[in-house]
Structure 1
Amino acid sequence: MSLRAMEEGDIPAVHALSKAEKWPHRVDDLAPMLALGHGIVAEMGGKIVGTTIWWPCGDKVATLGIVIVSRTHRGAGIGRIVMEAVLDAIGDRTILLNATDDGLPLYRKLGFQGVSEILQHQGAAFSVPIVPLEAGERLRPVGLRDADRVAALVEGATGLHRPALMAALLKKARGVVIDREGELLGVALFRRFGRGYVVGPVVAPDPHRARALISHWVGSRAGKFTRLDITGESRLGEWLDELGLVRVGRVVTMVKGEPPVPTGPAHSFAIVSQALG
Structure 2
Amino acid sequence: MAAGWPVSEDLPVIDRIQRLTLDELPDCLALAQDREWLPEQHKWRLLFDVGSVYGLRNEVGDLVGTTILTRYGAQLAAISMVLVAAHYGGRGLGRQLMQHALAEAGDATVFLNATEQGRPLYEKLGFVSVGTTYTHVGRFAPPAGPAGSRPAVPGDLPAILKLDTEINGADRSHLVQRLPGFAEQLRVVERGGVVSGYAGAWRNIDNVLIGPVLAETVNDAKTLIADLAGTISGPVRFDLDDRHPQLREWATQHAVPVRNSTAVMVHGAQPLPGDRGRWFIPVMQALG
Q: Is TM more than 0.5 here?
A: yes
Query: 1:188 corresponds to which letter in structure 2?
Result: A
TM-score normalised by length of structure 1: 0.91
The partner residue of 1:260 within 257, 262, 272 is 272
Q: 1:23 to 1:120 in 2, by over 3 A?
A: farther
Name the SS for the 2:178 alignment partner.
helix
The partner residue of 1:15 within 29, 32, 48 is 29
Cα displacement (A) at 1:132: 7.4
Query: 2:52 corresponds to which letter in structure 1?
Result: H
Name the SS for the 2:96 alignment partner.
helix
User: Does the alignment pair 1:104 with 2:116?
Assistant: no
Q: 1:24 to 1:149 in 2, by over 3 A?
A: farther
User: Does the alignment pair 1:194 with 2:205?
Assistant: yes
**Per-residue CA shift, 1:24-56, capped at 9, x if unaligned?**
452222022112111110111321111001111
Distance in 1 (CA, whole Å) between partners of 2:157 and 2:146 is 25
The partner residue of 1:81 within 96, 107, 114 is 96
Distance in 2 (CA, whole Å) between partners of 1:118 and 1:25 is 22
Corresponding residue of 1:149 = 159
Corresponding residue of 1:128 = 142
Name the SS for the 1:237 alignment partner.
helix
Corresponding residue of 1:211 = 222
Q: Report the aligned-residue RMSD.
A: 1.9
Structure having the higher strand fraction is 1
Query: 1:146 corresponds to which letter in structure 2?
Result: D
Cα displacement (A) at 1:167: 0.3
Distance in 2 (CA, whole Å) between partners of 1:130 and 1:185 is 23
Cα displacement (A) at 1:263: 4.7
Distance in 1 (CA, whole Å) between partners of 2:36 and 2:257 is 18
Corresponding residue of 1:140 = 150
Choose 149-158 or 37-46, whichever is displaced more.
149-158
Distance in 2 (CA, whole Å) between partners of 1:18 and 1:259 is 31
Q: 1:260 to 1:126 in 2, by over 3 A?
A: closer
Q: 1:22 to 1:207 in 2, by over 3 A?
A: farther
The partner residue of 1:171 within 181, 184, 194 is 181
Cα displacement (A) at 1:117: 1.1
Q: 1:121 to 1:160 in 2, by over 3 A?
A: farther
**Per-residue CA shift, 1:201-235, capped at 9, x if unaligned?**
111122222111111111121x3221111111122
Corresponding residue of 2:253 = 242
Corresponding residue of 2:6 = none
**Per-residue CA shift, 1:45-95, capped at 9, x if unaligned?**
321111001111111221110111111211111111111122222222211
Corresponding residue of 1:37 = 51
Distance in 1 (CA, whole Å) between partners of 2:135 and 2:33 is 18
TM-score normalised by length of structure 2: 0.88
Name the SS for the 2:285 alignment partner.
coil
Q: 1:157 to 1:60 in 2, by over 3 A?
A: closer
Name the SS for the 2:286 alignment partner.
coil
Distance in 2 (CA, whole Å) between partners of 1:129 and 1:181 is 25
Identity score, percent: 30
**Runs of 5+ consecutive residues of structure 2 not aligned to the other structure:** 1-12
User: Does the alignment pair 1:47 with 2:59?
Assistant: no
Q: 1:86 to 1:53 in 2, by over 3 A?
A: same
Choose 202-211 or 104-113, whichever is displaced more.
202-211
Distance in 2 (CA, whole Å) between partners of 1:24 and 1:156 is 33
Name the SS for the 2:224 alignment partner.
helix
Cα displacement (A) at 1:157: 2.0
Cα displacement (A) at 1:260: 3.1
Higher relative contact order (CA 8 A, sep 6+): 1
Cα displacement (A) at 1:165: 0.2
